[in-house]
């Protein structure tokens, strides 16, 4: 695979180039090491593409997973407690998880355990490789990366997406770079409030 396009949100790429150049080089090398043709293993059952060989999101994810884990990128979780009251959520939002629970219980409410998980984190940089539906990308960009950033676990998030030219040879409904860039730009310059690098890849 190769990087076709990059979009830097809130100076995400500039941050990497100045503060984490080795990690940025590592990400580029991982993308370059993914053999696209070996991932063209899915036989389409869709009416418009029946019998056509497509790129398999599962196989592409497996390739990225093995390459990133070989370079010590690891899964990370941010845990927290939620409840029904908006004022109580605002009060407990910035507290450590155990204190969140105590505050919610002290207020007579029921604490509900929740967490956000990111597959690849290393040296305060998070990477999400996304070949899923549109809603998954929105969740990554506007919830996951933001939660890790607000929780002071990362300084920048990286989202790897297929270009439309790659997505056209995948099952329908898969998100693609051009469409997701539009969605981010449409929100305005400061939303989401986390530095990001969005990468579009193609064979």
Encode pLDDT of 147-195 as tens digits.
Answer: 899 888 999 999 999 999 999 999 888 999 999 999 999 998 899 999 9
What pLDDT does 55 receive?
93
What pLDDT does 49 receive?
78
Which of 140, 89, 146 has the alpha carbon at shortest distance from 112? 89
What pLDDT does 132 receive?
82
Least confident of 100-109, 141-150, 157-166: 141-150
User: Is residue 130 predicted with pLDDT exceeding 90?
Assistant: yes
What pLDDT does 31 receive?
98
d(CA 173, CA 187): 22
What pLDDT does 149 receive?
93
| pLDDT single digits (tens) 17-58 | 999 999 999 999 999 999 999 999 988 887 777 888 899 999
DSSP-assigned states of every residue in 93-127:
TTS-HHHHHHHHHHTT---EEEEEEEEEEETTEEE
What pLDDT does 71 receive?
96
> Is the distance from CB of 195 to CB of 12 less than 8 angstroms?
yes
What pLDDT does 78 receive?
86
d(CA 13, CA 37): 29
Token pair in block for residue 108 = 């007579």
For the chain, the domains span: 2-76+119-202
Q: Rounded to two decimals, what is the model's pTM?
A: 0.90
| Mean pLDDT, the chain, integer | 93
User: Is residue 2 predicted with pLDDT exceeding 80?
Assistant: yes
What pLDDT does 25 receive?
97
What pLDDT does 84 receive?
94
Architecture of domain 2-76+119-202: 3-Layer(aba) Sandwich (3.40)
Average pLDDT over residues 60-85: 94
């Amino acid at each position: 695979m190769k990087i076709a396009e990059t979009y830097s949100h809130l100076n995400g790429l500039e941050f990497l180039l100045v503060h984490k150049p080795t990690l940025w080089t590592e990400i580029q090398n991982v993308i370059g090491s993914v053999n696209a043709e070996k991932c063209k293993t899915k036989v389409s059952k869709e009416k418009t593409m029946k019998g056509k060989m497509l790129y398999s999101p599962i196989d592409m994810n497996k390739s990225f997973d093995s390459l990133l884990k070989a370079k010590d990128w690891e899964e990370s979780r941010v845990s927290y407690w939620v409840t029904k009251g908006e004022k109580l959520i605002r009060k407990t939002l910035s507290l450590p998880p155990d204190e969140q629970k105590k505050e919610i219980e002290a207020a007579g409410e029921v604490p509900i355990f929740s967490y956000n998980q990111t597959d690849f984190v290393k040296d305060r940089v998070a990477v999400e490789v996304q070949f899923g539906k549109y809603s998954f990308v929105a969740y990554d960009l506007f919830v996951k990366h933001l939660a890790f950033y607000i929780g002071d676990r990362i300084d920048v998030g990286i989202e790897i997406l297929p270009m439309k030219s790659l997505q056209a040879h995948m099952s329908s409904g898969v998100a693609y770079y051009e469409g997701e860039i539009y969605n981010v730009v449409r929100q305005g310059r400061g939303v989401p409030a986390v530095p990001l690098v969005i990468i579009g890849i193609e064979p």
